[in-house]
């Protein structure tokens, strides 16, 4: 008799991203995401969230996994609360992004990833996360900073939202 185990959502393995010494197994990246969500729900500050996030080595695979997990979680939450259609209708990307305004770049990237996951599915979201985390120069064991900054942007938004709910 075969017993099927309940699947846990994890990012797929990525042959396109380099294998690095600091890579965590997908389950460990998922565990950190879950711990971050739990701590934010318990009232963590932005500094506490940053400290916990910094425990994860910023390797391309770890960053891609974290981006993918949060993009999926955010999209699922928007869908479950009935807010996804409103989010998609009220979220437009600029015709000409301003590459010198880093904050706007991160915000536009956030919208693009959530829109991509919402309209094209998880596989497309994983492709975007990989593209974002792929190293563009030496050293190959570090993802570009924008991937970590995107995760931090989401986390800080969650901290502010939970703080506002408690107020």
Q: What is the pLDDT of residues 121-157, one digit of tens each?
A: 888 888 888 988 988 887 888 998 888 999 999 999 8
Dist CA 165 CA 158 (whole Å):
10
The dihedral region occupied by 82, where left means phi > 0, alpha psi between -120 and 50, and beta the remainder, is left
- pLDDT (mean) for 91-109: 71
Residues 6+ apart with CB under 8 A from 18: 60, 61, 135, 140, 141
pTM of the model: 0.82
What is the tens place of the pLDDT at every residue in 2-14? 343 444 444 455 5
């Amino acid at each position: 008799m075969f017993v099927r185990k309940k699947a846990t959502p994890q990012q797929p393995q990525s042959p396109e991203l380099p294998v690095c010494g600091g890579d965590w197994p997908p389950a460990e990246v998922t565990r950190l995401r879950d711990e971050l969500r739990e701590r934010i729900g318990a009232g963590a500050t932005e500094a506490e969230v940053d400290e916990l996030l910094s425990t994860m080595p910023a390797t391309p695979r770890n960053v891609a996994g974290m981006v993918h997990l949060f993009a999926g979680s955010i999209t699922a939450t928007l869908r479950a609360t009935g807010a996804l259609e409103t989010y998609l209708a009220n979220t437009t990307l600029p015709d000409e992004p301003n590459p010198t305004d880093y904050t706007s770049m991160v915000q536009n990237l956030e919208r693009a990833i959530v829109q991509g996951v919402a309209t094209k599915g998880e596989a497309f979201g994983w492709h975007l996360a990989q593209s974002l985390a792929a190293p563009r120069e030496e050293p190959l064991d570090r993802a570009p900073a924008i991937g970590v900054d995107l995760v931090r942007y989401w986390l800080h938004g969650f901290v502010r939202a939970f703080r506002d709910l408690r107020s």
